[in-house]
Structures are given as C-alpha cells and as structure tokens.
Amino acid sequence: MAKTFPIVTVEWLQAHLADPQVVVVDCRFALMQPALGQQQYETCHIPGAYYLDLNRDLAAPVAQHGGRHPLPNLEQLAAKLAAIGINSGPPTLVVAYDDSRFAFAARLWWLLRYLGHDRVAVLNGGFQTWQQAGYPVTAEIPLPRSGNFVARLQLQQAVDIATVKTKKDLPGVVLVDSREADRYRGEREPIDPVAGHIPGAINYPWQEVTDEQNKAKPIAEHQHRWSALQDAQEILVYCGSGVTACVNLLSLALAGIDTGKLYVGSWSDWCSYSENIDP
C-alpha cells in the first residue's frame, strides 16, 4: 500500500472534498467533557465528515489495568470504518481532524496505521483553520456507506507493559514521555492517581509538535527535534493514556523516523501496578 504524507492542508481538502476516494473524520473530543465533541459535530462540521468518538470508537472501556484508553475492539472498529466508506482496496485516503492540536485526530491516524491502512492524514490546523479560511460547514449527518475495510494488524507498532519493562533500558532503545514537563517531573498530576514518570524516560512534550494556530511546525523543526534519537533502534512513546503520545508519533513520521512505537496503556497503565510505584 502506498504511504501518504501525514499532513494535508485545508486548501487541499477543500479541493478534494468531493473525491469519492477521500473520507473525512471528525475526531473532536474533550477529556473533561466527553459529550462535547459529539455535540460540536452535530452543530457543525466539515461537509461529508463522519464522527468517531475517542471513548466509544477509538478506545475500549477502562479496566483495572491497560490504561484509561485501551485499544478498542478491533473487529468492531473495522466494521465502523467500513460503514463510513473506508476501503482497503483501492485504499481510501482518510483525513482526520480535531480542534485540539492533533490530540485526537492523531489517535485515529495511529490506529489506522496499526490496522494496516497507511493512507491517512491529519488536517493541518484542524477545524479552527477550516473555519478561518471561510470554507463551508454543515449540520447534515452523512448517510452510512459501504466500504471494504479489512484490518491487517501491524502488531510491531504497539508495545505493552511487559515489553516496556524488558526493553526500556536496553542500548538502542529510548523511552519517551509525551506529557507536559511538570507532569513528567511529578509536580502536577490532574488525571491519574499517581504523579511521576516511568524510570529512564526522557521528556518530549506533545504540545511542541504544533504552534498556537493548531498547525504542525515546519518539517525541519521536527527533524531537529528528534535529531538526538534518529539512530535509535526503537523509540517507545507514551503519555497519560496512549492518546497524545500519538501526536509525537506523528511528529516522528514528519521527521522521517519510523522506529516509534506506542505504549498503549502509558502512564495510567504503568501506575496501576503497585510494584511500579515508589512507596
């Protein structure tokens, strides 16, 4: 399958909005107001866009372990992707957007790649930039479509807690914490019950990937940002729950580095085991 550049502009999307080989997905979400994204979508969205919800569609229910956003049931997700017209062959180009500096669109971007569908991109600037450009919006919900999506799992793109423990201190392996610096340092923890980070992790905050206008920084900045890690054999990336870490994985892709892997459970999984927490 041909790979796709991971970012598209609002100008490009406007020009290709009627292309039957393009499917647009609205991923807007608010962690502290889980119903808000759906409400925003129903109020107005990019014409033809479908909505996928972080909690209902892009993650499974929370359990004792596995983190706050475990991987969804992949058969159910594949069926949902087919129902919004995503085809495996010839492969549909999926364009995901949000209004949160790629936080949720990047989760769908990563999940599709994990399912073996590389023709996926994130909308640069998101819904905010689309509106600022004066492009049309609608409240009309598109009808279901019939796609032929078939999952081809790329298991090597994800790691679990056992793999992190086994590999994180090996030569050639780097563990990256994607949260804000103060959360990484353990000075503040607004969500999880324990503050701190996984021993040995280094900090690359996910917000550094974009500017204040929700747009990706220039390619050269991504290359410079990851230059110290470009020769690593594996880059294991985590955040609080495996969502915003995907923004760093997108940044790695923009830098041309393909050794990044997602620790899906992330800090919320790690700190759910008492033996991992200092007394």
Burial 93-131 (b: 16+ CB within 10 A, else e): bbbbbbbbbbbbbbbbbbbbbbbbbebbbbbbbbbbbbb
The structure tokens listed for 73 are: 């049931």
Note the maximum CA span of the chain: 58
* In the predicted structure, residue 99 carries a pLDDT above the cut 60: yes
Separation between Cα atoms, residue 78 and residue 64, nearest integer Å:
25
- Confidence bin at 132 (pLDDT 50/70/90): very high
- What is the enclosing helix (H) or strand (E) of 127? helix 126-132
Helical axes 245-254 vs 105-114, angle rounded to 10°:
70
Catalytic site includes residue 239: yes
pLDDT by residue (tens digit) across 243-278? 999 999 999 999 999 999 999 999 999 999 999 987
Per-residue pLDDT tens digits for 42-93: 999 999 999 999 999 999 999 999 999 999 999 999 999 999 999 999 999 9
- Ordered strands of the 202-203 beta sheet: 158-159, 260-263, 234-238, 173-177, 202-203
CB atoms within 10 A of CB 30: 16
Residue 3: the pLDDT is 52
What percentage of the chain carries pLDDT values higher than 70?
98
Question: Do residues 120 and 48 make contact, with C-beta atoms less than 8 angstroms apart?
Answer: no
- Pick the catalytic residue from 27, 44, 239, 246: 239
Question: What pLDDT, on a 0 to 100 scale, did the predictor assign at position 277?
Answer: 86
